[in-house]
A and B are shown apart, each in its own frame.
Chain A
Amino acid sequence: MSQLGVMDLIGLAVHALGRNGLRTGLTGLGIFLGVAATSATLQVQHITSQRIQQRFAEREAPRVQAWVWRQGQLADLTAIQTELAGVASVSAAMGLGWSQQAIYQDRAVPVQGMAVSDTYFTTTGRQMVQGRYLNATDFADYRSVVVIDQTLAQQMFRDRDPIGTNIYLSGMAWQVVGVMEAKTTEQRGSGEQEGELVIPLSTQMALTGRQQVDHIFVRPEDLRDLERLEGQVKTLLQQRHPEYLQGIWAQFDAPRTATNVADIQADQETLATATRSLLGVGAIALAIAGVGIANITVASTLERTKEIGLRRAIGATQGDVLWQFVLESVVVSVVGGVIAIATIEGVTLGITRYEPFGLPAYEFNGRNAVLALGAAIAVGIGSSVAPALRASRLDPVKALRS
């Protein structure tokens, strides 16, 4: 580059753009639309994936669940933990029998109850809202204690403190030692009515004389291992309990396994596919804007051949000419791109304020803005380089004479 500084070049570019307002306007419009389309897609993806993360948070920690109906044993838990890789936590549970109603004073409330092993809280990831977890002493001493969830606390105790009070299950008294958060399940959305409670597995085993468990839960360290673990848990359980593969059991494809987040993951897939397609079309839109820029730059350089010849004659280098035309495109791209990004941000803000989709207040997403702006600049440079290069290589003498 010769003696012209960057600021001078930009000044020249803006001046040249100003000479033909209509042309600059139309070129800018093309970029604006292309960036707006891409930016809108990125925003939609951002908001929808936030919603998905929220749904994950409302569930218990992603895990594999195996329905082992009275065949499962605590020894299976140890086997799973030692023999399979990537297992963060395992726990077992036993159903509480047919009739599940919790009674407090004169209130009888339907509940989903389970007797759980001591690793229940680490496996499900449930946090305590009040009181404490079931601890080692509860299990060791076969205590009649229970942890209820927020829904049940609300239904039974309204605003009174439940800690320390007794509730009745199947005629037995159980002392409430803690309240845990309420979670949704695949079948149950948020706002569903039935409360949940858990009691120590050892106590239930002592009461019923049964040593086998009905459910086994396996929590992976990494969400990506979920599918692999599901298959491995099933195989391992079948190896340890050959009766699953014999006689009548064989036809049931026992033990039945599932994950607790299959529906959310399915939605994630759909979102990923939709985003990819939308971004693809957005890329096409930007490419079209680029073609438009290329086309008009060719026309421009043709029109301004004399001007190019003159500038070269008074000392401009080839690089100067190249930079001049590329910079003109870049300025239009940047201005058009910034306006587009700002517009989409404004629209997103407006929409989320009007209909929040149950998400926290929308914040400016720097990553998406940078992506969109980068795309705009890339299009601007990419499409003007070829014609600008050709213009820079014009013979000054021929150009002056044209």
Chain B
Amino acid sequence: MALSPHNLLIVTLNALRGNPIRSALTTVGIFMGVLAVNGTLQVQTISKGIIERQLNAQIAPQLFTWIHPGITSREQAQAIARLGGVIDSASSTWGSFDTVQRNGQETFVITLPVSPNFPQVNRLEIVAGRFFTPQEMQDFRQVGVLAQDAAMILFPDQDPIGQSLLVRGNTYRIVGVIAMKPFEQDEQTWSTLFVPLSLAHARTGQERITSFSLRPTDWRDLDAQQAKLQQILATQFPDRDPYVEHNAEAIAEQQDILILISRGLLGVGLVALVISGVGIANITFASVIERTPEIGLRRAIGATQGDILWQFLLEAVILSMIGGMSAIAVVDGTTRIVAATFDLPYTFQLETAAMSLGIAIVVGAGSSFVPARRASRIEPMSALRSE
């Protein structure tokens, strides 16, 4: 290059300043294109944050395990420790199915021995009273928490809290009522009575945890966690029959839709940016034709083909950078305001900004390249003569 970078820059800026309307319109075109692309990338980031928040509030991500004929609590702790990444776990063992009668009302009840943290881990709501405490579990107290619908049938006129319920020869004192849908088994509908896990152990003389659910620290890894736990249990208990499952279906579904929408938006955003590029190409061609005499003159006084090429390229790139950076700034500002107003999670993502700016520069350079090359190949003599 015959011209130093510093001088090249000055020449370029002068040329841009010489036609302010053209430079402004071109910059606006790029500005809007980057606005579209960067805007959709921001939307993606924010909505991911929203989904995460919603999910952890509504659908408790969990791993469910069934193992037959059951393991002890120590074995369970070992397995969980080996798995890692678990916040909480709740256990249960086989329940018994009985018909329960009281004051002329009858209903079908499954008595399920569980650990005291069962409702928290499984996101079940206590609607009256409370669940039994770890102390009551330790003391082998015969207390129970009854499902809502059974409570309404067996205690239609009074508060069940504090009342006794006779199930298969055992009397349980009701300490709470829990919201839980009845479920189907053997063509019957059953309601649940939760009792302390220790009672089952006491009766059979040994600990047998036949199923437990785990709450992981990071729900995104549920698939991997599931596989890992399955493997751990299979190795540790080869003669028993472990089965691990997770409830990430609903989460995955919501995510899928969001990814689809985000991709659609990004696609249209990129089309918008391409249109800016087409505009740049168009106007650069026009510029070249307009400035043919100028090009001829510059070549005549010593500019190389490279100088001419670089000049036109640089004009487009500078406008792209100005348009791109202002668009990124505007999008960032708007997102901050929106996030603050609606209490959404948002932090400035350098990667997204860099990517948007990068694409803008590529579009600017790419679309001005062909016209710039044509300009550089103009014969100085015919250029000077054409005026």
Evaluate contact between B278 and A30: CB separation under 8 angstroms: yes
Evaluate contact between A288 and B275: CB separation under 8 angstroms: yes
A273 and chain B: residue at smallest CB distance = B261
Smallest distance from the beta carbon of B153 to chain A beta carbons, Å?
A: 9
Collect the chain A residues with CB atoms within 8 Å of residue B249's CB. Answer: none
B152 and chain A: residue at smallest CB distance = A69
Evaluate contact between A295 and B29: CB separation under 8 angstroms: yes
Evaluate contact between B290 and A299: CB separation under 8 angstroms: yes
Collect the chain A residues with CB atoms within 8 Å of residue B234's CB. Answer: none
Evaluate contact between B187 and A298: CB separation under 8 angstroms: no
Binary B-proximity of A288-324 (CB < 8 A = 1, otherwise 0): 1101101110111011000000000000000000000
Q: Quick check: is A41 within 8 A (CB to CB) of the other chain?
A: yes
State which of B18-26, B217-225, B237-245, B345-353 sits at the interface with chain A: B18-26
Complex: how many Å from CA A289 to CA B277? 10
Evaluate contact between A281 and B22: CB separation under 8 angstroms: no
A110 and chain B: residue at smallest CB distance = B187
Evaluate contact between B285 and A248: CB separation under 8 angstroms: no
Given A30-B278, A284-B272, A298 contacting B108 (CB threshold 8 A): no
Report which of B108, B257, B264, B269 forms a contact with A44, defined as CB distance below 8 A. B264
Report which of B158, B189, B268, B274 forms a contact with A281, defined as CB distance below 8 A. B268
Evaluate contact between A251 and B278: CB separation under 8 angstroms: no
Evaluate contact between A99 and B188: CB separation under 8 angstroms: yes
Smallest distance from the beta carbon of A177 to chain B beta carbons, Å?
A: 26
A252 and chain B: residue at smallest CB distance = B127
Q: Quick check: is B128 within 8 A (CB to CB) of the other chain?
A: yes
Report which of B22, B25, B36, B279 forms a contact with A30, defined as CB distance below 8 A. B279
Complex: how many Å from CA A74 to CA B29? 67
Count chain A residues whose beta carbon lies closer than 8 angstroms to a beta carbon of B: 44
Smallest distance from the beta carbon of B373 to chain A beta carbons, Å?
A: 14
Complex: how many Å from CA A247 to CA B177? 13
Evaluate contact between B282 and A296: CB separation under 8 angstroms: yes
A274 and chain B: residue at smallest CB distance = B261
Evaluate contact between B275 and A285: CB separation under 8 angstroms: yes
Smallest distance from the beta carbon of A124 to chain B beta carbons, Å?
A: 23
Evaluate contact between A282 and B108: CB separation under 8 angstroms: no
Report which of B261, B265, B269, B279 forms a contact with A291, defined as CB distance below 8 A. B279
Complex: how many Å from CA A27 to CA B278? 8
Evaluate contact between A281 and B269: CB separation under 8 angstroms: yes
Given A30-B279, A251-B128, A278-B265, A37 contacting B159 (CB threshold 8 A): no
Complex: how many Å from CA A247 to CA B278? 72
Report which of A100, A101, A270, A296 forms a contact with B283, defined as CB distance below 8 A. A296
Q: Quick check: is B33 within 8 A (CB to CB) of the other chain?
A: yes
State the majority secondary structure of interface residues on B: helix
Collect the chain B residues with CB atoms within 8 Å of residue A248's CB. Answer: 128, 151-152, 155, 158-160, 177
Binary A-proximity of B148-180 (CB < 8 A = 1, otherwise 0): 110110010011100000000000000001010
Evaluate contact between B285 and A41: CB separation under 8 angstroms: no
Given A41-B268, A292-B29, A23 contacting B282 (CB threshold 8 A): yes
Complex: how many Å from CA A294 to CA B148? 69
Evaluate contact between A37 and B152: CB separation under 8 angstroms: no
State the majority secondary structure of interface residues on A: helix
Smallest distance from the beta carbon of A372 to chain B beta carbons, Å?
A: 14
Smallest distance from the beta carbon of B149 to chain A beta carbons, Å?
A: 8
Evaluate contact between A296 and B152: CB separation under 8 angstroms: no
Q: Quick check: is B32 within 8 A (CB to CB) of the other chain?
A: yes
Collect the chain B residues with CB atoms within 8 Å of residue A40's CB. Answer: 268
Chain B: interface residue count, which band? 35 or more
Q: Quick check: is B286 within 8 A (CB to CB) of the other chain?
A: yes
Evaluate contact between B188 and A292: CB separation under 8 angstroms: no
Collect the chain A residues with CB atoms within 8 Å of residue B274's CB. Answer: 33
Evaluate contact between A282 and B268: CB separation under 8 angstroms: yes
Collect the chain A residues with CB atoms within 8 Å of residue B179's CB. Answer: 252
Query: CB within 8 Å of A: which of B259-301?
Result: 261, 264-265, 268-269, 271-272, 274-276, 278-279, 281-283, 285-287, 289-290
Query: CB within 8 Å of A: which of B115-157?
Result: 127-128, 148-149, 151-152, 155
Smallest distance from the beta carbon of A130 to chain B beta carbons, Å?
A: 28
Evaluate contact between B264 and A288: CB separation under 8 angstroms: no
Complex: how many Å from CA A294 to CA B282? 11
Complex: how many Å from CA A287 to CA B276? 10
Evaluate contact between A289 and B43: CB separation under 8 angstroms: no
Complex: how many Å from CA A375 to CA B127? 57
Evaluate contact between A99 and B279: CB separation under 8 angstroms: no
Collect the chain A residues with CB atoms within 8 Å of residue B33's CB. Answer: 284, 288
Smallest distance from the beta carbon of B369 to chain A beta carbons, Å?
A: 14
Evaluate contact between A289 and B265: CB separation under 8 angstroms: no
Collect the chain A residues with CB atoms within 8 Å of residue B269's CB. Answer: 281
Smallest distance from the beta carbon of A329 to chain B beta carbons, Å?
A: 13
Q: Quick check: is B40 within 8 A (CB to CB) of the other chain?
A: yes
Smallest distance from the beta carbon of A190 to chain B beta carbons, Å?
A: 17
Residues of A bordering B, CB below 8 Å: 22-23, 26-27, 29-30, 33-34, 36-37, 40-41, 44, 69, 98-101, 110, 247-248, 251-252, 270, 274, 277-278, 281-282, 284-285, 287-289, 291-292, 294-296, 298-300, 302-303
Cβ contacts A to B, 18 pairs, < 8 Å? A29-B278, A41-B264, A69-B152, A101-B187, A248-B128, A248-B177, A278-B268, A281-B39, A288-B276, A291-B29, A292-B276, A294-B25, A295-B282, A295-B283, A299-B22, A299-B283, A299-B290, A303-B289
Additional A-B contacts beyond A26-B282, A69-B152, A284-B32 (14; CB < 8 A): A30-B279, A30-B282, A33-B271, A33-B274, A41-B264, A44-B264, A248-B177, A274-B264, A277-B261, A287-B32, A288-B29, A291-B32, A295-B22, A295-B282
